[in-house]
Amino acid sequence: MRLLIVLTSLCAEGTPILVLQLCEHWQKQGLEIHIVTLQPTPLDLAPEFSALGIPITNFSLGQGYGRYPRLLSQTYRHCLQFKPDAVLSMPLGWHAFIAWGAKVAGVKKVCAHVGNLPPVWTGAAFQKFKLQVQLGRPVTDRLLCCSEYIRQATVRDFKVSTAETATIYNACNLEKFKNLPRPDNLIPVIAMVARLEGHKDQPTLIKATAILKKEGIQILVRLIGEGSKRTELEQLIHSLDLTDQITLLGMRRDIPEQLSQMDLFIFAAKPDEGFGIALAEAMAAGVPIVATDVGACREVLQDGRCGLPVKAGDPQALADGIAQVLGDRQTAQEKAKLAKERALTDFGIATMADRYLAELSS
């Protein structure tokens, strides 16, 4: 089977890393894979894809509305050359033009990944997004949603049928997170792994740390990830006099080792969060979790069975949750054990890869 996968870029973050792991798995099954990117940079994961011998092509789309017909035509030409049996588009919206180009070129199956809540709050921008999804409906075989929460919202807000969607959980390489040592820190160390972007909620964690400091609860916080909000977060940390407690570690490729040093994992998410691969990794590592109580986290953590939910966007609620978990280590470890069992059962790469392949196969 030949498979063409379209990525926005090769940035070392959730979706591209997930695709890399899927490629590693699929290559062992004999699939021939090509990668297409829509942005020339960043190229963080280029060495890893090249090491697998996977060809990478960047489409030169330019700016303005001309990008859309160029994407369609370049997809068409690339599919004529590579002759894939199926195309998987990780960006949604853009997938409409990818799908039309692929189908005209004779590709049998085209699926698109849905990783976030439909942004209905953006007004006119959402209407444009919705139009793109509608344009892609005749030539898109399935929208593959990363959680049931996202699937239901996709059906409701994009006005597609249930039959056009499927739920396939995101996944991680569980082998990297097995049998990690547990920390023995004098001062509790907590971490959040996420891009430093507006759709994540590191500011609430920073403010919660300030509240805990006033309450006499000492913790060390590590923010792992990189992004456009770094300077803004640094300024917030400095203004709250937390530079001795909060460290921005930037992008890291040693997440299992980092998690092995953590007493607690924080997943401060906003309502548009789709799944959170970092959350699944923390579950697989057996680290106690405090997460904001939004739809995706509620689903992944099974309504608090596998971690402690707290009110979203509320620094006091998050501070109270951190204090509660640190004060009751036994309950926290019991939840962490259940979380690890769920991750090992539901969030493995092999499980996701097989589900994707079933949708992409003719």
Do residues 70 and 61 lie in contact, with contact meaning Cβ atoms separated by under 8 Å? yes
pLDDT at 178: 82
CA-CA distance, 248 to 229, in Å (whole number)? Answer: 11
DSSP element (H, E) containing 192:
strand 189-193
In 3D, which of 192, 194, 268, 198 has the Cα closest to residue 228?
198
pLDDT at 123: 94
Do residues 61 and 37 lie in contact, with contact meaning Cβ atoms separated by under 8 Å? no
Q: Is the peptide bond before 42 cis (omega within 30 degrees of 0)?
A: yes
First-to-last C-alpha distance (Å) of the chain? 10
| pLDDT per residue rounded down to tens, the chain (362 residues) | 999 999 999 988 889 989 999 999 999 999 999 999 999 999 989 999 999 999 999 999 999 999 999 999 999 999 999 999 999 999 999 999 999 999 999 999 999 999 999 999 999 999 999 999 999 999 999 999 999 999 999 999 999 999 999 999 999 888 889 888 888 899 999 999 998 988 899 999 999 999 999 999 999 999 999 989 999 999 999 999 999 999 999 988 899 999 999 999 999 988 888 888 899 999 999 999 999 999 999 999 999 999 999 999 999 999 999 999 999 999 999 999 999 999 999 999 999 999 999 999 96
Helix (H, G, I), strand (E, B) or coil at 34: strand
What is the CATH architecture of 174-346?
A: 3-Layer(aba) Sandwich (3.40)
DSSP string, 48-92: HHHHTT--EEE----SSTTHHHHHHHHHHHHHHHH--SEEEESSS
- Domain 2-171+348-360 and domain 174-346, same fold? Reply is yes
CATH superfamily of 2-171+348-360: Glycogen Phosphorylase B; (3.40.50.2000)
pLDDT at 362: 66
The domains of the chain are located at 2-171+348-360, 174-346
Strand order in the sheet with 289-292: 246-250, 220-224, 189-193, 264-267, 289-292, 308-310
Q: Which residues make beta-bridge pairs with 109?
A: 86
